[in-house]
């Protein structure tokens, strides 16, 4: 009676063996379940473009791959699940982006509303006063009216400032501000940029053009969209808006070397996207912003978050949804550009303006290197 008991107790792998036998019975179901959960997670990641969810999805994908590689099942099943996992992750993620972008519209049927309340510290904008302040020191530019915009009883000129000396050998730079009416700091920054241009005699070396208020009606009504209630900066596929058509025409006629697009971002800190080949520009810009006590956007300090933010508006899915911002359009036609987004959550308008001026300054300094 004692020998069988001793034999049973002397086998240290008995419990592990039985446990593995039980697990193997449901291993196929486990693999299929893990694969399904992983794909569904990446669908949600694409829809929400969330950093924490992406980390969870990567952990699930790695865990599923380990299970597929270590625990053997039928050869055909393992290989099929491996292919489904790899291809399915890409497909599920982009499907989520398609669903997300389907909720974004370039234009809305309703009329443009005057926003009396806002959460981004928007100050009342007097377009006439701003234009007066800008043109007061813009004697080195020619003022050209591109078109007139009508909205209700209002008729507003959409103007561009062009260098008086238009030597063809100089690098051509276009500066755009006031694309979104709820982002005024770029418009205010134009006055300071023009002052810098005059003081440093930059027109001797560069051919600079400035659109200081691309969306004048939106600025006057504190609204992101234009007079037709369209988001100009999502309209560079369909070109429904007058403004996007004008930018397309200007880019074709002038063959700009660089475009600087001034906005205000959705995050607490100054954000920029550098789509230029200029060496050292990013590090120089980051250092200058910090030197002037301007908070850097958390996006720029986290590569994965920054990727998610940019990719949701610059992927094959955005083209399927017929949505494209200006910087991606400029990339597609070979024009180098910088997107500068100041911090709209800051009550310090001087800092919001300064961030744009520093971005312009760093661009010029990089070109002079």
- 23, β-bridge pairs: none
Pure H helices in 200-295: 216-220, 242-254, 281-291
Rounded to the nearest integer, the mean pLDDT of the chain is: 88
363 Cβ contact list (under 8 Å, min separation 6): 173, 258, 260, 276, 278, 281, 338
Phi, psi of 17 (to 5 degrees): -60, -45
The pLDDT tens digits of the residues spanning 199-245 come to 999 999 999 999 999 999 999 888 999 999 999 999 999 999 999 99
| This prediction's pTM | 0.89
48 burial type by CB count under 10 A (0-12 exposed, 13-18 middle, 19+ buried): middle
According to the model, what pLDDT value does residue 195 have? 96
Give the CA diameter of the chain.
110
Please say whether the beta carbons of 271 and 265 come within 8 A.
yes
Mean pLDDT across 358-364: 97
How far is 256 from 250, CA to CA, in rounded Å? 9
Mean pLDDT across 70-89: 82
Q: Is residue 165 very low, low, confident or very high in pLDDT (cuts 50, 70, 90)?
A: confident
Q: Among 28-42, 86-100, 348-362, where is mean pLDDT lowest?
A: 28-42
What are the extents of the domains in the chain? Answer: 2-102, 127-368
According to the model, what pLDDT value does residue 9 have? 43
For 111, which DSSP code?
Answer: P
Q: Which of 247, 259, 237, 39 is nearest to 171 (CA)?
A: 259
Between residues 153 and 63, the one the model is more confident about: 63
Which residue is associated with the tokens 């002037």? 292
The CATH homologous superfamily for domain 127-368 is Zn peptidases (3.40.630.10)
């Amino acid at each position: 009676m004692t020998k069988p008991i001793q034999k049973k107790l002397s086998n240290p792998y008995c419990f592990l063996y039985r446990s593995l036998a039980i697990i193997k019975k449901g291993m196929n179901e486990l693999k299929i379940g893990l694969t399904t959960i992983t794909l569904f997670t990446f669908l949600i990641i694409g829809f929400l473009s969330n950093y924490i969810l992406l980390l969870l999805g990567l952990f699930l994908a790695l865990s599923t791959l380990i299970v597929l590689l270590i625990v053997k099942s039928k050869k055909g099943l393992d290989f099929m699940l491996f292919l489904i996992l790899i291809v399915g992750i890409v497909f599920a993620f982009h499907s989520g982006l398609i669903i997300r972008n389907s909720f974004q519209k370039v234009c809305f049927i309703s009329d443009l509303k005057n926003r009396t309340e806002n959460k981004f510290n928007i100050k009342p904008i007097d377009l006439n006063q701003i234009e007066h302040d800008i043109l007061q020191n813009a004697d080195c530019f020619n003022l050209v009216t591109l078109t007139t915009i009508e909205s209700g009883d209002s008729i507003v000129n959409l103007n561009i400032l062009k260098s008086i000396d238009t030597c063809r050998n100089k690098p051509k730079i276009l500066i755009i501000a006031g694309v979104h009416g709820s982002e005024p700091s770029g418009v205010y920054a134009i006055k300071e940029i023009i002052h810098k241009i005059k003081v440093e005699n930059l027109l001797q070396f560069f051919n600079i053009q400035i659109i200081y208020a691309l969306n004048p009606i939106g600025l006057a009504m504190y609204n992101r969209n234009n007079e037709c209630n369209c988001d100009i900066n999502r309209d560079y596929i369909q070109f429904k808006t007058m403004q996007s058509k004008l930018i397309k025409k200007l880019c074709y006629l002038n063959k700009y070397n660089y475009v600087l697009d001034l906005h205000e971002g959705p995050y607490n800190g100054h954000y920029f996207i550098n789509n230029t080949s200029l060496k050292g520009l990013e590090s120089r810009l980051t250092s200058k912003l910090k030197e002037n006590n301007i908070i850097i956007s958390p996006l720029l300090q986290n590569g994965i978050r920054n990727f998610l933010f940019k990719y949701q508006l610059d992927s094959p899915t955005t083209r399927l949804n017929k949505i494209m911002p200006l910087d991606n359009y400029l990339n597609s036609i070979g024009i180098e550009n910088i997107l500068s987004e100041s911090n709209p959550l800051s009550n310090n308008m001087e800092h919001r303006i300064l961030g744009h001026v520093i971005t312009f300054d760093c661009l010029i300094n990089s070109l002079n290197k």
